[in-house]
Amino acid sequence: MREFGEWLAGVGGVTPEACFEAHFRLVAIHPFADGNGRTARLLMNVVLLRGGYPPITVRPVDRKGYLDALEYGSVRGSLEPFQALLHHRLDDTLGEYLAILEQV
């Protein structure tokens, strides 16, 4: 956890990629008996908000792809599928916010 905290403190600017990697790194440590994914998503969203981005959700329909992407990252050492999934969710969320603003 200390190494994770140092890594997080040393991250340059707030980018979606850094937020998504923070999520992945925390889940990979698995520091809690329960709630690792929820805690990692909360951390990701807090950092996203601090960077001016909206919080994103992993919907029930995304769950299998989300878990597969986490496993792929753990086994293969590549975050590309995980980053792609969360970028897609971020894009969808921004689209939803813009649609609501257009209605107002």
For each of the domains in the chain, give its residue range(s) and CATH number, in order of start. Answer: 2-103 (1.10.3290.10)
Which run of H or E residues covers position 23? helix 16-29
Whole-prediction pTM value? 0.88
- Looking at residue 32, its pLDDT comes to 75
Task: Check 23, 30, 87, 88 and give the catalytic one.
Answer: 30
Instruction: Give the residues of the chain that fall short of pLDDT 70.
Output: none
30 noted as active-site residue: yes
Residue 44: closest CA among 20, 71, 70: 20
Taking residue 95's Cβ as centre, other Cβ atoms within 10 Å add up to 10
- Looking at residue 63, its pLDDT comes to 94
Backbone angles phi, psi at 42, to 5 degrees: -65, -45
DSSP classification of residue 51: T
3-state secondary structure of 31: coil
